[in-house]
Each structure stands twice: as C-alpha cells, then as structure tokens.
Amino acid sequence: MYKALFFLMILGLLSCKEEKASISSTEKTVTVKEPLQMYQLSEMASFMEDMYVAHEHIKEKALKGEAPDTLPYDLSKLHTATFTDAADNDETYQRMANVFIEYEEQMVEDPEHIKQHYNNSVKLCISCHQLKCTGPIPRIKKLLIN
C-alpha cells in the first residue's frame, strides 16, 4: 500500500511538474507492472502522449520536406478529453488550443511550408505548457526542428 502511494506521488509529480526524462520510461514500466493500477493517465494526458509520438513522425517527414496528408489524431479532443485537473481547462487554455489547432491544420493545408508550420505548432505546445504543465517542456523542445 505504501509502495503504491509512493508511486502515485512520483507519478503525480512527473505528469506536469518536474519531469525528469530518464525517469519517464521507468514510470511506464512501473505503471504496467503495478497490479493495483492506482494511477492512470487522464484522457487528455494520453492524448498528449499520442500527439507527442505523432509529432516525432511528422518531424522526420518534415526534415525530408514531406507534409502529412492528414493528422493521425483528433484535434477536437483538445476540447473534449477530460483533464487530470479540470481547473486547467480555463479560457486561456481554450484560446491557446484554438490557435494550436490552426497551426496544426496549416501543416496539411500548406505543405510547401511544412517545416515552418510544424515548428510554429511545436512552439505553441511549449507556450501552452509554460502556462499549464511545465514538466514535459524539455521533452517537447526535442521535437523542434533547429
């Protein structure tokens, strides 16, 4: 029981605050092995994780000058998925989510400038995270095309 609480505390810290990249993969292993399943990613957090992986792929393509035909995730989830902490879903969040969605759509609509639109989009991930969820910022920065 204490062990589970301890994990819960660490995971709680990891999600939005001080995330240490090296712990992050251990975290996943621990979650899977932990039979009590005390901690689950919120809908929004797991959507964000999906977007993260998808952006790694978009980045690879963009580096070759290729743009995605469609986005492999549903951006409307930014407005519908449930948060770990509902208080994060405020007006600022909503506004930034809308700007983010526009940037994301430009990657598909204007493939000629894929690198530029891709980076604008990742910068928006970072801007929103500076206000809402600073933990993953070092990881998100790795998505930028330099």
Which residues of the shown chain bind ligand HEC in the complex (CB under 6 A)? 15-16, 41-42, 44-45, 48-49, 51-52, 55, 83-84, 88, 93, 96-97, 100, 124-125, 128-129, 132-133, 136, 140
Measured from the CB atom, the residue of 100 and 106 that comes closer to ligand HEC is 100
CB of 132 to ligand HEC, least distance (A): 4
Write out the DSSP string of 63-127.
Answer: HTT---SS-SS-TTHHHHSPPSSGGG-SHHHHHHHHHHHHHHHHHHH-GGGHHHHHHHHHHHHHH
Measured from the CB atom, the residue of 42 and 116 that comes closer to ligand HEC is 42
∠ CA 143-106-54, nearest 5°, is 35
Measured from the CB atom, the residue of 2 and 139 that comes closer to ligand HEC is 139
CB of 116 to ligand HEC, least distance (A): 15
Short-list 73, 75, 67, 71, CA closest to 117: 67
Measured from the CB atom, the residue of 4 and 119 that comes closer to ligand HEC is 119
